[in-house]
Structures are given as C-alpha cells and as structure tokens.
Chain A
C-alpha cells in the first residue's frame, strides 16, 4: 500500500516541525503564569472584599494584645494568624486592607503614566522634528537621574496625598511608553496602509486614532503590566520612607517600616506585608514578561 494520507489533515500537521513546536509553545500557558493570573485576580478580589474577609478592624488597637506572635488563640481571645503589631492591631487584617492602597494607587498611576506616555510617544513618532526632539530630550533627562529623589522632593513639598502619589508615580513611568511607542510609530508611519490613508486625505488625527493606535495596543498592554509591578513597588517604597498614604491607613510599605524597630522581637510585623508585596511584584512582572513574549516578540530585550 502506498503511503496513505488521512482524509482530513489537521492544519498543523502540514506545517514544518519547528513552526508547530513554536505554536505549541505559544499556546501552552506556563503554570507560573496561570498561577500569576490567579494570584492577581485573587488580590483584586481580596482588595474589593476586604471588609468581608478581614477578621478584625485593621486600625483597632489593643494594648493587651501587643506584639503577639502568629496564633490561633490571642490574649484577647481572637485568632491572629499573622500576629499583631506594636499597637496590637491584627497583621492579617492590615495586610488584607493594605492591598487596597497598593492596587488602587498602582492601577491609577499606570493609567496616568500610560495615557501621558502613549500620547507623548505617538506625538514624537508622528511629528518628528522639534516636538520629537523635545519629548525625547525630556525622556533622556528623566532617565538621567534617580527618580526616587525627585519623587521624595515633590511629595515632601506637596504633602503625601492620594492624587499626589498617583501623579508622581504615574509620571515616573511615562518614559517607557514614549520611547517604545515612538520607535513603533516610526516603523508604522512608513507602511503602505498608513501612507495610502494619508494619500486618501485621512487626517493625521484619524490615522493615529484609527490605524496606528490599534496596532500598538498590545505593546501598551505589555508595558502597562510591567509598569504595574513597578508602580506597586514604588508606592511601597515611598510608604516605607514615610511618604506614602499616611497612618493609620494600612499600606504594605508602611507596615514594613513600622515593624522595622521590632524586627528582632516581632519579625512578623515587617515580614508578612513584605512577602506579599514581593510575591505580587514577582508575579505581576512575570506575567508582563510572558505577555510580551506572546503578544509582541519584537519587544524582547527592550526595557
């Protein structure tokens, strides 16, 4: 019998083995990313339902139950699974409520930075010339010095309020969007479909909004995910330095700072919020890396 070919060949079967393997790799979502997605979803859920989930009021002090180690039966008769802090507040409840500050400021800052940075990148790529030079020089200047110093300075001047934090953290991230989008726009604008729309009389605004933006959307999503991790860490860092959302509102960075003095006797105060922060940061930035590889392989190696 001659070599028989099955009547219905799966589309994949005729592809070269290498392509097949590449596709399979792309389709198979690594377990770390599944875990990551689940973790982020859980975090959002926890932040939203904090009042339902937290076993205690996060700012209720209890002087009798100060510095209690993680326990099922605390001095006040309550379980403190992650212990209590120097004011007798339940660490677990504070970690749960702390997720609100991290996520709300993180997402808001990414929105601010993403909108500003994308607009700047699109403008720079499209106008070239003077506008481009100005935007890119500004980007260079911002990258040229430790932004954390500027952030501390601005917040020290304006006072640590929610809007200030969002704007400062947002501003710290616009450069990534601007630089990467600019380089993509430079490629796109010379493509036939953009040139032909231009020739047909499509306005520049229309070209950017209807034809270029959809093409760079996946890039924006990738950068935004990576930026989210950075924004959450920056917020925590500022809180750690005493410049974040002010006490008694719990924030992870602030809790690490509060527990610092008790590191020797009550390690749990700093360690648990810090660990949650660290896991969040790792998981979100890993998901970003993965998204980048899937959505936009050309970005590999970009910062």
Chain B
C-alpha cells in the first residue's frame, strides 16, 4: 500500500522465522529503504504458529499490514494457512517442509494437500522450495530458513551486496559461513523461476 512492499514470514516456532525476517529487514536497510517490522513471538518456542512482517519502501508508516505482497513460509501447512494474507497477484514462497501438528499426528485431522490448487484459486504465484535439501547440501538442515530466503531473494528488489550485508548483520559470526552457502544455493536453484512481483 502506498508504495510500501510487505513481506510476511510464517512458520512454526523454532524454525528460524524471526531470523529470516531480520535478515530481510537488514537487507532492505542496506539497500537504502526505510523499514518497519513487527512480530508475534510469545509462543514461538512452544511449537505454535509464528508470524513476522517486514515492510520496506521509501517511507514506511505502519509496522503492520493486513495483506502481504510476498509470504515466505518455512512450513507447508503454515504457507497454506497464510494464503488469505496475500494480496491478489502476490507470491507465496513456501518450503516443502512438513511439520504435522498434534491433531494430524493423532489422526484427528488431515494435513492439507491442496496448496497448489488453493494458490491458483487465489491467483497467487506459488514457488515451492525444497529448503531442507538445499540446506543439507550447504552443511546443516538448520539453515533451511536461510536457504528459503535465498530462493526468495531473486524475486526481491535487492542487490547481491545488500543481501550479503543483511546476512552478516543478522546472523552470528560463527554460523555465518554455512548460512551464506545455504543462501547462495537457494538463490541459484530458483534464479530463473517464474515469479513476478
């Protein structure tokens, strides 16, 4: 809205959703944008859903937006759940990671299988990323959040240098290396995908 781009991060507590959001915020600042962000993290370590929103533009007023231009989801069900958050023609960049909630594990509910159809029905561009495989290739599955961000990076208006500044600003030095590799691998793998913003 008003020349501001909104990117929302969703996932499950413990997946590094907030870190990914912080990398994006730092990158947008490195690119010279005004940035505002907000997160709901009270239940973040208790396996609940997590939502973090980053907004950037020439001048950003509100830290919050009802609809996002891009949703980056570190888990498939959470990506599916976030579809209503997307503005029309928005993009969902979603990891193929599945973390079944208790009700699915106990057989009370079904894990949804309809993310492609639901995205198409909403005219949302969907990019599914095997983030855990990419991260494993980089050295640790824990970097799946950053691998996913790498896949999304090609679709966001930031330079390679800005991304590198964002990564360095948000990630502790001793795990920066492996995360840089995960980011690069994710970025390469999806550089040519058809996602228009």
Q: A and B: real partners?
A: no
Chain A residues engaging chain B, CB cutoff 8 angstroms: none
Chain B residues engaging chain A, CB cutoff 8 angstroms: none
